[in-house]
């Protein structure tokens, strides 16, 4: 399944907000359960317990979500707003 273009979460950079939201989106998109390990880790993770693992888990969830980006798109923060995470069109820097 491919994601739709747009915001998944906006207005926060707190890991305790990002991790469960990213995991929920991944669980919805991952029909083949390829990334079930990361969803399970996110569901049991408490941000205040391990800051190092927190960064690792956010990174893994973002990489996994990228696999569901529509063609010509990416998953991440939108240009101009680092707290607006979602699926966005890749800007073409080679425009004439």
Within a domain: 42? yes
Which residues, in sequence order, are bridge partners of residue 84?
10
Q: Model confidence at 68, in pLDDT bands (50, 70, 90)?
A: very high
- How sure is the predictor about 93, in pLDDT bands with cuts at 50, 70 and 90? low
Residue span of the structural domain in which 67 resides:
13-72
In this predicted model, what pLDDT tens digit does every residue of 15-46 receive, in sequence order? 999 999 999 999 999 999 999 999 999 988 77
- Give start and end residues of each alpha helix (H) in 2-86: 15-29, 36-44, 51-66
| pTM of the complete model | 0.88
Whether residue 36 lies inside any domain: the answer is yes
Q: Any idea what DSSP says for residue 80?
A: T
Residue whose structure tokens are 């693992």:
53
Number of domains in the chain: 1
Which of 21-25, 52-56, 58-62, 77-81 has the least mean pLDDT?
Answer: 52-56
pLDDT given for residue 48 in this prediction: 60
Residue 57 placed within a domain: yes
Residue 1 maps to a domain: no
Choose between 11 and 46: higher pLDDT. Answer: 11
37 falls within a domain: yes
Q: Is residue 6 part of a domain?
A: no
Query: Is 2 inside a domain boundary?
Result: no
């Amino acid at each position: 399944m491919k994601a739709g273009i747009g915001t998944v979460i906006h207005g926060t950079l707190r890991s305790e907000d990002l991790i469960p939201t990213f995991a929920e989106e991944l669980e919805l998109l991952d029909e083949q359960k390829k990334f079930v390990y990361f969803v399970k880790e996110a569901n049991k993770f408490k941000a205040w317990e391990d800051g190092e693992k927190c960064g690792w888990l956010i990174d893994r969830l973002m990489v996994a979500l990228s696999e569901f980006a529509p063609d010509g798109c990416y998953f991440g923060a939108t240009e101009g707003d680092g707290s607006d995470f979602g699926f966005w069109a890749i800007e073409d820097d080679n425009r004439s």
